[in-house]
Structure 1
Amino acid sequence: MILQIFLGLLVLLGLSIPVGAVLFLLGVGVAQFHSPFPLLRGLGQVVWSASASSTLIAIPMFVLLGEVLVKGGVAARTYGALDKWFSWMPGGLVHANIATATMFSATSGSSVATAATVATVAMPQAERLNYDPRLFSGAIAAGGTLGILIPPSINLIVYGFLTETSIPQLFSAGLIPGLVMAAGFMAITALICAVRPDLGGPSRHYGWGERLASLRELVPIVLLFLVVIGSIYRGWATPTESAAIGVAMAMVIAVLGDGLSRRAIVEALHGTIRITAMIMLVIAGAYFLNFALTSAGLGRMLTQLLEGAGLSAMGLLLLVIALYIMLGFFVETLSLMVATIPIVVPIIAAAGFDKVWFGVLLIVLIEMALITPPVGLNLYVVQGARRGGSLTQVMVGVIPYVIVMLLMVAVLVAFPALALWLPSKA
């Protein structure tokens, strides 16, 4: 049954069927051929249960928060300010790409939105200053992945919902690894450009007066992050409530920056509806598939299979990591999460691993899937923002950053406290 589900997933996705529909079809197949119960009679109740959780209201709110910042021009002003602080380093403007992606990740919660925003703002600069297209575009694609690790993260909300794990703890657990990985991206960029200065383009130096003046563009974003995440971390607000506060603050910031027109508001609402509908369909499909798999006894079958293999806890973890790396080449990230979490996480938890820690590790692996061909969404988003060149250039450019992600996986496995220290202080 496991092999049938996996092959069915690949075939249906290969036919370009929407991910949510694929998950429902797989659930129907399992219910019809592998379950002794008439599960289809409960389809309506299962879908209702999946969509009625108040926790999920946070998803459209965080999506709207990011959309308001993009449409209101806040992201472009942030990029210009960070350019003045980081472009002196070896690699020049490439560091501004990563820094902007890091800061925008702290408000958007979406990798694709982060990559698209930075690419739209940065690409004209790359062409004007004659940067190497591979490293420049690769940094944007990789930096965009931070959107699902640095809180608020939509993917962490989905993980917390599916595994019944505390979302505030997941948010705090993802913060330090996210910042460390951003620093790793900048470090490897500086190293590459120190060895090959021709790849990084010209360093740009600004006076302290210009730098200090640019802080006025960064202060609103920092305050927004502190209010949204701080209210969750301190227990003053739920993720949903803090997201609503964040939307209100984002609108005020955009209005004060003279960037929130009526057209911008309409575009932000349309984008939010479109993205939220896609995510909710996927979650409902995954919920029904999980219900069918549980009724068919898949969890018991996997547990028996792994126990029979005689793997240690660490051996099991390494097997799961290898599985996610392999699947990441072929399966879209959100569908990879929702299709595997109900199966994998109970087994990982039974082996003694912390679910909060594994959630962060899983997101890093999912981030890798966003920039590995042939399915990596961020690759296509960045290529779409370019005026020329090939997709191969973007693929080559992300290689150093994939190495950093692999190192982060190793660090998280060796030092779980990197993710668990901050939640333990709550």
Structure 2
Amino acid sequence: MIQFTAFGLLGLLALSIPVGVVLFLLAFGIDFFFSPFPLMRGLGQVVWSSSNSATLIAIPLFVLLGEILVRSGVANRTYAALDKWVSWLPGGLVHANIATSTMFSATSGSSVATAATVATVAMPQARDLGYNEKLFSGAIAAGGTLGIMIPPSINLIVYGFLTESSIPQLFLAGLVPGLFLAGLFMAVTAILCVVKPELGGPRRSSSWSDRFASLADLLPIFGLFAAIVGSIYAGWATPTEAATVGVAIALVIAAHQKALSRAMIADALRGSVKTSSMIMLVVIGAYVLNFVLTAAGVSRALQDVLNNLGLGPLATLLVIVAMYIILGFFIETLSLMVATIPIVVPIIMHLGYDKIWFGILMIILVEMALITPPVGLNLYVVQAARGGRPFSDVMLGCIPFVIAMLVMVGLLILAPQIALYLPSTL
């Protein structure tokens, strides 16, 4: 039964069948071959109960929020402002890529949207100023991954829904590791550019008056982040209600930037419907698969297999980490999460680990999948903005940042409080 589940999942994905459909087909197959009673008779109730949740309304709202910001020109102003603050570091404008990705991640909730936005703004400057495009492109792709770590994060909402975890606690748990990881990216960039100055570009200094004047362009992002996250932790709003407030503020920002129009709103709504429909099909399919796996005893059988191996909790965790790294080469991030959560999270809880902490660890591991070939979405997003240059440049440029992610995984395992301090304190 375990072999059928594993090979069935990989085989169906290899056929390029949409992930949501794969999850339903796998559930049907396990039910048909291994279940002693027809589980699919309860399909309607499972689908209804999984989709009839106010929590899930936050997903299309946060997607819409990101779509509005992408089209409002906020990213261009944010990039120019952060350039004045960080381009004096070794690596110059590369740090602006990471800093802008960090800021934009705090509002978009999507890694692909973050990478696409920053790439569109930054790549022309890389050529004008003579930057090494490998490191420059890698920084954009890697910085974009922060979109699914720093709250609000669509992937954390999905994880919280599927594992019945507190989404506000997950948002708190992701904040410090997300900022820590951004710091690691900047540290790696600075070290590389000190050792090999040709990897970076010209370092630019700005006067303090210019820097303080640029803060006005950062206020919309800071204000939006404060409104969303602050309203959640002040107890004024649920994540869904906070997302609604965020969309309203994003519309005000777009109007202030003179980017609000019927055409812009129509484009944002179309993009939101496409993305949200894909996510919801995957989430409901994962919920159905979770129901079948539990009822058919697959999760329990896998726990028995691991117990019979005689591995301790740490060794078992490292095996799971290695599994995610390997699968990340072949499976897209959200697909990787929803396909494995029903199997892996019960094992993690059985080993005595905190599921909030593991959610953050999992997010970092699936972040790596965004910048590792052959299916790393951020690689293709950045490559599309580069216009015909070798794809290998983007892949090679991401290697230092993959190493930084592995370091972050090790730190989280050694010091879980990096993720758990804020949730336990607040």
**TM (normalized to structure 1)?**
0.98
Distance apart, 1:3 and its partner CA: 2.2
Q: Which residue of 2 aligns with 1:65?
A: 65
The within-5 A match list for 1:145-294 is 145-294=145-294
Deviation at 1:235, TM superposition (A): 2.1
Uncovered stretches (5+) of structure 1, i.e. residues with no partner: none
Correspondence 1:119-134 to 2 at 5 A: 119-134=119-134
In structure 2, distance between residues paired with 1:375 and 1:239: 31
The one-letter code of the counterpart of 2:115 is A
Instruction: State whether residues 119 and 382 of structure 1, in contact with CA within 8 Å, keep that contact through their aligned partners in structure 2.
Output: yes
**Paired residues of 2:2 and 2:301 also in contact (CA < 8 A):** no
Q: Give distance in 2, aligned partners of 1:155 and 1:352.
A: 23
1:27 CA displacement: 0.9
Q: Is the 8 A contact 1:90 1:190 kept in 2?
A: yes
> CA shift at 1:11, angstroms?
2.2
Instruction: Note the C-alpha offset of 1:210.
Output: 1.6
The amino acid that maps onto 1:200 is: G
Return the alpha-carbon distance in structure 2 between the equivalents of residues 2 and 103 of structure 1.
42
Q: Corresponding residue for 1:403?
A: 403
Query: Within 5 Å, which residues of 2 pair with 1:23-34?
Result: 23-34=23-34
For structure 1, which segment, 75-84 or 7-16, has the greater mean C-alpha deviation from structure 2 after superposition?
A: 7-16
CA distance in 2, matches of 1:154, 1:76: 23
Distance in 2, matches of 1:260 and 1:203, equals: 36
Provide the C-alpha distance between the structure 1 equivalents of 2:7 and 2:260, rounded to a whole number of angstroms.
47
The percent of aligned pairs where both chains have the same amino acid is 67
Letter in structure 2 aligned against 1:260: L
Counterparts of 1:375 and 1:5, CA distance in 2 = 22
CA contact (8 A) 1:141 1:379 kept: yes
CA distances 1:160-218 after superposition (whole Å, capped 9, x unpaired) = 00000000000000000000000100011011111111111111222222211111010
Deviation at 1:78, TM superposition (A): 0.8
Q: Which residue of 2 aligns with 1:315?
A: 315
Following superposition, the deviation at residue 80 of structure 1 comes to 1.2
**TM alignment of 1:64-103, pairs within 5 A:** 64-103=64-103
In the alignment, is the contact (CA less than 8 A) between 2:167 and 2:239 conserved in 1? Answer: yes
Q: Distance in 1 between matches of 2:165 and 2:351?
A: 17
Q: For 2:188 and 2:261, how far apart are their aligned partners in 1?
A: 40
Q: Which moved more, 1:42-51 or 1:55-64?
A: 42-51
Residue identity matched to 1:380:
Y
- 1-side partners of 2:210 and 2:259: how far apart? 22
User: CA-to-partner distance for each residue in 1:76-117, whole Å, 9 max, x for gaps?
Assistant: 111111111111111111000000000000001111111111
Tell me, in whole angstroms, the C-alpha distance in 1 between the residues paired with 2:327 and 2:61. 30
Conservation of the 8 A alpha-carbon contact between 1:329 and 1:374: yes
Aligned equivalents of 1:56, 1:213: Cα separation in 2: 39
Deviation, 1:265, is: 1.1
- How far did 1:8 drift? 2.0
Equivalent residue for 1:16? Answer: 16
Measured in 1, the distance between the counterparts of 2:18 and 2:128 equals 38
Structure 2 CA distance for aligned equivalents of residues 40 and 390 of structure 1: 48
Q: Which residue of 1 aligns with 2:324?
A: 324
Deviation at 1:340, TM superposition (A): 0.6
Q: Report how far residue 15 of structure 1 moved.
A: 1.9
CA distance in 2, matches of 1:31, 1:140: 43
- Give runs of ≥4 in structure 1 deviating > 6 Å: none
Aligned to 1:357: 357
**Quick one: distance in 2 between partners of 1:217 and 1:207?**
16
Q: CA deviation at 1:262?
A: 1.9
Across the aligned residues of Structure 1 and Structure 2, the Cα RMSD in angstroms comes to 1.0
Which amino acid letter does the alignment assign opposite residue 70 of structure 1?
V
Amino acid at match of 1:301: A
Equivalent-residue separation in structure 2 for 1:382 and 1:338 (angstroms) = 25
Deviation at 1:10, TM superposition (A): 2.0
Preserved CA contact (<8 Å) 1:383 1:394: yes
The question of whether the paired residues in 1 share the 8 Å contact of 2:81 and 2:217 is answered with yes
Q: Which runs of 5 or more residues in structure 2 are unaligned?
A: none
Say if 1:71 and 1:265, in contact at 8 Å, map to a contact too. Answer: no
AA paired with 2:242? S
Q: Tell me the distance in 2 between the aligned counterparts of 1:382 and 1:43.
A: 40
Secondary structure in structure 2 of the residue aligned to 1:398: helix
C-alpha contact (below 8 Å) 1:83/1:96 kept by paired residues: yes
Q: Distance in 2 between matches of 1:175 and 1:99?
A: 15
Work out the CA distance in 2 between the residues paired with 1:332 and 1:9: 13
Look up the equivalent residue of 2:260 and give its one-letter code: L
Contact 1:172 / 1:233 at 8 angstroms: preserved in 2?
Answer: no
User: How far did 1:388 drift?
Assistant: 2.4
Q: CA deviation at 1:40?
A: 2.0
Distance in 1, Cα, partners of 2:199 & 2:314: 40
Shift of 1:42: 1.9
Counterpart code for 2:54? S
In structure 1, C-alpha distance between the alignment counterparts of 2:27 and 2:383, rounded to whole Å: 35
Structure 2 letter corresponding to 1:251: L
For 2:123 and 2:238, locate their aligned partners in 1 and report how far apart those are by CA, in whole Å: 37
Does the 8 Å contact 2:289/2:342 carry over to 1? Answer: no
Give the SS at the match of 2:237: coil
Of the structure 1 ranges 254-263 and 144-153, higher mean CA displacement relative to structure 2 is found in 254-263
Residues 192-250 of structure 1 deviation map (CA, whole Å, 9 limit, x = unaligned):
11111111111122222221111101011101101111111222211001111111111
AA in 2 matched with 1:29: G
Q: Are 2:358 and 1:377 equivalent residues in the alignment?
A: no
